[in-house]
Amino acid sequence: MSTPMRLIVMGQQAFGKDVLAKLLDHGQDEVVAVYCEPDRAGKPVDPIKEYALEHGLPVYQPANFNDQADIDQIASLNADLMIMAFVNVFVPEAARDAPRLGSICFHPSLLPLHRGPSAVNWPIIMGRTESGFSWFYPSDGLDEGDVLMMWTCPIDPEDTVIDLYFKKIYPRAVDSALEVVDLFRDGNPPHIIQDERQATYERRCLKKHARIDWNKPVGQVYDLIRGTNPAPGAWTEWNGAEVQVFDAARLPGDGISGKIAEVSDAGVVMQCVGGRVLIKRVRPSGSGKVSATEWAASAGLTVGDILGT
């Protein structure tokens, strides 16, 4: 029978909670503590904290690890491995190395591609045809440590962030936590050096990056819409008011870019360079999400109108 491991799980939100649940349900190893971010005033309790407390696990929530007492605390747990599942707080070397076998961290891209906090958005926005996730040995550099394991999946032409992350990456990544522990348990876990020549880093994808320029090539426009759906949400303007654009489809067609080519029961068709985008669902300023057809009727949109003004 395999030797049980003493594990620390550090994480937050649903992904951290589901990784914790997977390890506990498996029952082979002992989770000795859970680390998550401090509570925020007016915000719900983090799901991983709630789940940990329900299962009688000690929970620690340091804002950082600048205090030696926090380093001493994590060392006192006598853990074999720390699993870092969705971590936003910088964890210094002294804390990462406190467990006997160190720490391993999850990242939702194929490292060294798309280091940074919006690693699911940018591959779609950039028109890539595949993505996946990596488990890597965290270092002081952002997402720069050696890789333990990778999993690759296609980015299909209609995939949004929801499709890529929640339907593809997320469930497989949660299951992979067990494989990660087994690689350490078996001894001599892989260390794959990241190729810095291939490395990319993108900043957090924000509203300012999601503004649509309808005069760009149709592929770039369409990829921006689906790569920011549901957040931060691609957006355009009509009569000075912002309109977020969500569900869309790419269509063939020629015409003057930047203008509405068609308004129908299917939605609003915008002409871009080299093709068209069918807008299906929007959120006008101060409103909830509605069909693009409904919005067009209320806004008085007609063929030839220019969005983005």
Task: Identify the pLDDT of residue 173.
Answer: 98
Q: State CA 211 to chain mean position distance.
A: 20
Among all chains, which residue has been given the structure tokens 């990829």? Answer: 223
pLDDT single digits (tens) 156-199? 999 999 999 999 999 999 999 999 999 999 999 999 999 999 99
Task: Identify the pLDDT of residue 89.
Answer: 86
CB under 8 A, 24+ apart: contacts of 266-272: 266/293, 267/291, 267/292, 267/293, 267/296, 268/292, 268/293, 268/295, 268/296, 268/301, 270/214, 270/221, 270/307, 271/214, 272/214, 272/215, 272/216, 272/217, 272/218, 272/221
Q: Is CATH 3.40.50.170 correct for 6-198?
A: yes
Predicted structure pTM score: 0.94
Task: Identify the pLDDT of residue 38.
Answer: 94
Tokens of 7: 């594990």
Could you tell me which of 242, 270, 241, 268 has the C-alpha nearest to residue 258?
Answer: 270
pLDDT single digits (tens) 244-270? 999 999 999 999 999 999 999 999 999
Cβ density class 211-250: b for 16+ within 10 Å, e for less: ebebebebbbbbbbbbbbbeebbbbbebeeeebbbbbbbb
* Beta strands across the sheet bearing 267-272: 248-251, 275-279, 267-272, 260-264
Domain 207-299 falls in which CATH fold?
Methionyl-tRNA Fmet Formyltransferase; Chain A, domain 2 (3.10.25)
Q: State CA 93 to chain mean position distance.
A: 25
Could you tell me which of 135, 140, 143, 37 has the C-alpha nearest to residue 91?
Answer: 140
Task: Identify the pLDDT of residue 150.
Answer: 98
Q: What are the Cα distances from residue 299, in Å, to 253, 286, 292, 308?
A: 24, 13, 10, 14
Query: Is residue 273 within a helix (H) or strand (E), and if so which, with residue range?
Result: none
Could you tell me which of 10, 199, 180, 223 has the C-alpha nearest to residue 110?
Answer: 199
Q: Are 158 and 250 in contact (CB under 8 A)?
A: no
Pairing mode of beta strands 30-35, 6-11: parallel
Residues 293 and 281: their CA atoms lie apart, in Å, by 8
Task: Identify the pLDDT of residue 3.
Answer: 86
Q: Are 284 and 307 in contact (CB under 8 A)?
A: no
Q: CB within 8 A of 116, min separation 6: which ones?
A: 122, 142, 143, 201, 202, 203, 204
Ranges of each domain in the chain: 6-198, 207-299
Which residues in the chain come in under a pLDDT of 50?
Answer: none
Residues 147 and 189: their CA atoms lie apart, in Å, by 10
End-to-end CA distance of the chain: 67
